[in-house]
Structure 1
């Protein structure tokens, strides 16, 4: 609420930072305060499908708004040509603005691209020029970054540490690689994950993975074994050594190993590469 933007992208709103906010309504209140600071000549950009953001806007909004959608009917809409989101057309009021053809995958990144195009347009950049820039965009580190290809295994480093981020990232990869094997390896390191706030939703976020290995460090505040009871594809490991041993067993099957953490994962990135050679 202290940024005081003229152009604001409200990409999604979910419960997080459980060490700071008691519940989702408390976060909505902060978003409402932010919305109130945006001037009347500004612009608020948000996905039409996010019910929480829509609720915030109904709490009071005195700024023009515009919405985005994927294969929908919002003012700014992306029509997918590849299910993984790597190729799509951009429409404004049903008028084709051009195609984004890039290396990123996942519906969340399509929404990111749309929002960037709309925000750029608000400050005077033509959508066609924004699309040209996106087609030249190279992804940042730790966002499905390929860190190694060893025999038939591709290793990825990804910053995902929230169930929705995990789910959308794996969904994008699944749509890209088809039936190839996907193994997700997750360190529940964020404060919200460590508190066990997402106990009821975390297991389902691995639905697109053939196997999910979750690290249970000794100082975690809750027992992860309950997750393995919710889904057959989840295994719990209590040490980095155990994770490496398990992945060595999986490596002959090939596929995509996605390491997910907002930290260093106990040196797993470097140690696993050495172990798989």
Structure 2
């Protein structure tokens, strides 16, 4: 590779077997901890860079097989017999959609409950809301959490449930504005054959997840 040279790449060939991703390589299958189309794109780009630096494909696949991805991305907080609790830093529209799609595609036979905390200035801004259109369309249950106090501090207009439903283009979207109410709702759900995905650049106002972890581990 020469300075300034551009190399086109797509997504690394892979297959999903029982919730696990396997890269399809010239010498066989390589299981990797990460998953999702966006990660397979990043992975193939990384392979091209490593090859240009003189590494072999064998060296790359050996290393990538233990790569767990970036911090706070697809983090597993609890793993039950037929359910997983994921936490992800996703908050921008493109990242939100990529993360939701990745989890749903990885476990197509499971229900997906996805919770997105609107926490940043842009995400709480009504003018920015159309960017979130259809980002949660593949989820079985779509939930938005926001803290009215955070909205007030940012001197923005508090959006109601109907406004969010229009923006996300999701008529059954559920809005919570109190972390305790959200926690109680999530604890009341049946997690048999169901994954829960919590997405935020915040922390749901320090919501305690221990009881939720226990429920999912025993679901």
TM (norm. structure 1) is 0.65
Cα distance in 2 for residues equivalent to 1:170 and 1:159 = 12
Structure 1 spans left out of the alignment, 5+ residues: 1-6, 8-40, 43-62, 71-77, 91-95
The 1:211–1:264 alpha-carbon spacing in structure 2 relative to 1, beyond 3 Å, is same
SS of structure 1 residue aligned to 2:7: strand
Q: Kindly provide the CA deviation profile for residues 88-113 of structure 1, in whole angstroms up to 9, marking residues without a partner as x.
A: 335xxxxx476442121110110111
Counterpart selection for 1:257 from 174, 177, 196: 196
2:106 alignment partner in structure 1:
176
1:123 alignment partner in structure 2:
53
Greater relative CO (CA pairs within 8 A, separation 6+): 2
Cα distance in 2 for residues equivalent to 1:68 and 1:209 = 29
Cα distance in 2 for residues equivalent to 1:99 and 1:152 = 25
Cα distance in 2 for residues equivalent to 1:120 and 1:165 = 25
The 1:139–1:64 alpha-carbon spacing in structure 2 relative to 1, beyond 3 Å, is closer
TM (norm. structure 2) is 0.80
Query: Cα distance, 1:123 vs. partner?
Result: 1.7
Cα distance in 2 for residues equivalent to 1:113 and 1:85 = 16
The 1:195–1:100 alpha-carbon spacing in structure 2 relative to 1, beyond 3 Å, is farther
2:8 alignment partner in structure 1:
67
Superposition RMSD in Å? 2.8
2:146 alignment partner in structure 1:
216
Of the two, which has the highest radius of gyration? Answer: 1
SS of structure 2 residue aligned to 1:183: strand
The reply to whether residue 87 of structure 1 matches residue 22 of structure 2 is yes
Q: Kindly provide the CA deviation profile for residues 157-183 of structure 1, in whole angstroms up to 9, marking residues without a partner as x.
A: 111111111111111111221231111
Query: Cα distance, 1:206 vs. partner?
Result: 0.6
2:164 alignment partner in structure 1:
227
Structure 2 spans left out of the alignment, 5+ residues: none
Cα distance in 2 for residues equivalent to 1:64 and 1:198 = 36
Counterpart contact for 1:244–1:272, Cα < 8 Å: no
